[in-house]
Amino acid sequence: MAGENALNINEIRNAARRNAGHVRRTPLLASPFLDEIAGRRVFVKPECLQHTGSFKYRGAHNAIASLTPLQREMGVIAFSSGNHAQGIALAARQNETPSTIIMPADAPKLKIANTRALGAKVVLYDRATEDRDEIGARLAKEQDLTLIKPFDNEAVIAGQGTIGLELANQAREEGISSAQVLVPCGGGGLTSGVALALEHEAPDITVRPVEPEGFDDVTRSLASGRIEKNTQLSGSICDAILTPSPGQMTFPIISRLCGAGIVVPDKDCLRAMAQAFTRLKLVIEPGGAIALAAALFHPQMIDGDAVIVVASGGNVDAPLFADALTHFA
Amino acid sequence: MAGENALNINEIRNAARRNAGHVRRTPLLASPFLDEIAGRRVFVKPECLQHTGSFKYRGAHNAIASLTPLQREMGVIAFSSGNHAQGIALAARQNETPSTIIMPADAPKLKIANTRALGAKVVLYDRATEDRDEIGARLAKEQDLTLIKPFDNEAVIAGQGTIGLELANQAREEGISSAQVLVPCGGGGLTSGVALALEHEAPDITVRPVEPEGFDDVTRSLASGRIEKNTQLSGSICDAILTPSPGQMTFPIISRLCGAGIVVPDKDCLRAMAQAFTRLKLVIEPGGAIALAAALFHPQMIDGDAVIVVASGGNVDAPLFADALTHFA
């Protein structure tokens, strides 16, 4: 519980100050057509509109802005399937910090290309046979780089938590005092950060993690009370949230603050992407659409007259998006 | 010039007050990848994220909120290829006002379906053989309905002008004091409203109308100094902005305040839609993407270090959007 004790609302408020003028305050969107499908009011926080196309830039920027000048000069290293990668690459470039990113060779092409284009050195690895933690630790040591983990890092969690600060204000503006917030959940950085922020700013708004079928480690961990692992490492289109297990730092926070997990099949993510296209004019990637999918197609899992959904990213390759439209729009 | 004399910045400020709490304040988005293509900083005002998926809701809401209680009770009528239709339908429903919308039978299916779903009575007509003005005038007289024209209406222009108020503030926040704003232009309601607002709020930001090839009536009218007409009424994918000529009320304003028009081929709109998908995570319809197309693919037509683009709507049918991705993303 060390992580949780050290990480508190002040860290999230500090992150909001560090990120001011860099991170985009995303709006809160809605459509009467989505309300009708869900049977309740649905509000969508489109983090696909964030710089680099996902919320990950929030944590990345806060983490790099928190480093010492020497650490920034030596450079940072990160591993990521793509969204943390792009967030780190852009934040590093803005802080004149060299960045090295370890990415799975089967990550979406767009994510790999963007990470390179943002100035990062990209090292590809094989998800099935190589260990990214080992590669990361070795390169960090050899080159004196600071490792910025994608979720088990206090500055990263605090940065993602700034979404919770914005949501608390936006919910108030919409007249919502009590609701559930559905959050796409991989390692739990976004989920735990938002939950910590809302605990203080809007205690009647409860976070519910949402996961793909076959990758429901957080849902099972919440049920059993200890960290559970997924048996598989790939096999879902939700590439952004296929993490083996919740983090050592994130799980105690999630366990203390969140409601039960919700598990959604891949097909519903494609259907949600099509609805976001038609009704919100947003491009959302499969893993980013999973919370909207839960709100629209699994309403019986949710309580309350209103539900808030985080659409966590939009970095999807065009052929998959066109497929979702062809089948479901 | 009666229209221009009567319509001033106070009407736009009043519109902003009437629309507060209803109209969404859209953000100002950007991407380093778009800056690179354009060779200058590009800022995008995504009115596709506005309620009903286009800026038209702003003018529609202001026009209906400006009616007398008796006019609201009797109902309103409008003609529109789809975006004004949806704006009127939603604003009418919110004001408990019956609405009748005259739409061309070849309008995008999505626009017709949404207009009906928002509670309007839809009357379809044949663009080639029937006269929508005549149909509108007859129904208005028979049923005592108030006609809300799509652009030659002061309350509508004032409502669209609220975008200019927001843009002036957002440009200041970005440190932009001087720039050109590219605006997709049909009848000129959006163009004239934004130009009027900026004249007072940011006089060094100049509006440039953008039109599809073959439908460059405003560009030619600006060049000749009098209202010119298009020879064709259909034949571009930019369905939202295929108006025969600039309005009697809008042209004097455009003529006094705007820079030269820019003409863009349809293919560049598809390319801009693909870029908005990849870089901004936005769904933009062809006519709504035409200003972005000018910024990205016709940079020699524009002056300055920064350009602001209005992405005016996102109501595009899925097959056309998938096509744009297949060919250009």
A133 vs B322 pLDDT, higher one: B322
For an interface test with A, give the residue of B281, B283, B284, B315 to mutate (most A CBs within 10 A).
Answer: B281
Which residues from A are below 8 Å from B when comparing CB atoms? 24-27, 29, 32-33, 46, 48-49, 53, 90, 110, 114, 117-118, 274, 277-278, 280-284, 314, 318-319, 321-322, 325-326, 329
pLDDT, position B241 = 93
Residues A37, A173 within the same domain? yes
B234: left (phi over 0), alpha (psi -120 to 50) or beta: beta
**Domain count along chain B:** 2
Contacts of B319 in chain A (CB under 8 A): 325-326
Residues B303, B237 within the same domain? yes
pLDDT tens-digit map of A306-325: 999 999 999 999 999 999 99
Last residue of a domain, one of A89, A124, A147: A147
Q: Which of B33, B281, B314 sits opposite A49 (nearest CB)?
A: B281
DSSP annotation of B313 reads B
What gap in Å lies between CA B82 and CA B314, rounded to an integer?
11
DSSP notation for B192-207: HHHHHHHHHH-TTEEE
What gap in Å lies between CA B300 and CA A106, rounded to an integer?
40
Q: Percent of chain B at pLDDT above 90?
A: 90
Closest-CA distance, A245 to chain B, in angstroms, reads 29
pLDDT tens-digit map of B176-189: 989 999 999 999 99
- Segment B30-47 mean pLDDT: 98
- CB pairs A-B closer than 8 Å: 74
Q: 0.90 exceeded by the pTM? A: yes
Last residue of a domain, one of B119, B147, B175: B147
pLDDT, position A5 = 56
- Segment B200-226 mean pLDDT: 97
Cβ–Cβ contacts within 10 Å for residue A28, how many? 19
Which residues on adjacent β-strands are paired with residue A235?
A: none
Residues B50, B61 within the same domain? no
Contacts of B274 in chain A (CB under 8 A): 318
In Å, how far from its chain's centre is CA A204? 22
pLDDT tens-digit map of A262-284: 999 999 999 999 999 999 999 99
pLDDT tens-digit map of A171-220: 999 999 899 999 999 999 999 999 999 999 999 999 999 999 999 999 99
Q: CA geometry: angle at A181 spanning A175 and A185, to 5°?
A: 160
- What CATH code is carried by the domain that includes residue A125? 3.40.50.1100
pLDDT, position A75 = 97
- Segment B4-15 mean pLDDT: 86
Residues B132, B274 within the same domain? no
pLDDT band at A1 (very low <50, low <70, confident <90, very high): very low
Closest-CA distance, B224 to chain A, in angstroms, reads 38
Q: B327 to chain A: nearest residue by CA?
A: A318
Residues A218, A158 within the same domain? yes
pLDDT, position B265 = 98
pLDDT, position A228 = 98
The SS3 assignment for B264 reads strand
ipTM, interface predicted TM-score of the complex:
0.95
Contacts of A48 in chain B (CB under 8 A): 281
Q: Which of B27, B282, B322 sits opposite A325 (nearest CB)?
A: B322
pLDDT, position B5 = 56
Q: CA geometry: angle at B9 spanning B178 and B210, to 5°?
A: 50
Q: Which of B24, B46, B283 sits opposite A277 (nearest CB)?
A: B283
Residues A168, A298 within the same domain? yes
Contacts of A90 in chain B (CB under 8 A): 32
Q: A175 to chain B: nearest residue by CA?
A: B21
- Segment A4-20 mean pLDDT: 89
pLDDT tens-digit map of B145-161: 999 999 999 999 999 99
Residues A96, A25 within the same domain? no
- Which of B219, B213, B221 minimizes the C-alpha distance to B269? B213
Cβ–Cβ gap A48/B281 under 8 Å: yes
Q: Are B158 and B124 in contact (CB under 8 A)?
A: no
Cβ–Cβ gap B281/A282 under 8 Å: yes
Query: Within a 13 Å sphere around the CA of B296, how many CA atoms are in the beta-carbon half?
Result: 26
The SS3 assignment for A104 reads strand
Identify the domain containing residue A108 by its residue range: 57-147
Residues B181, B309 within the same domain? yes
Q: CA geometry: angle at A277 spanning A88 and B285, to 5°?
A: 100
- Segment B217-228 mean pLDDT: 98
Contacts of A20 in chain B (CB under 8 A): none
Residue A2 has pLDDT above 60, yes or no: no
Contacts of B286 in chain A (CB under 8 A): none
- Segment A84-88 mean pLDDT: 95
Last residue of a domain, one of A121, A147, A173: A147
Residues B36, B179 within the same domain? yes
Cβ–Cβ gap B27/A25 under 8 Å: yes
pLDDT, position A3 = 46
pLDDT band at B192 (very low <50, low <70, confident <90, very high): very high
- Segment B14-20 mean pLDDT: 97
Cβ–Cβ gap B27/A32 under 8 Å: no
Residues B139, B176 within the same domain? no
Contacts of B322 in chain A (CB under 8 A): 322, 325-326
Residues A201, A178 within the same domain? yes
Contacts of B321 in chain A (CB under 8 A): 277, 325
pLDDT tens-digit map of A206-238: 999 999 999 999 999 999 999 999 998 889 999
Closest-CA distance, A272 to chain B, in angstroms, reads 14
Residue A110 has pLDDT above 90, yes or no: no
Edge-to-edge strand list for the sheet holding B205-212:
B41-46, B306-311, B179-184, B205-212, B262-264
Q: Percent of chain A at pLDDT above 90?
A: 90
Residues B171, B133 within the same domain? no
Contacts of A278 in chain B (CB under 8 A): 110, 318
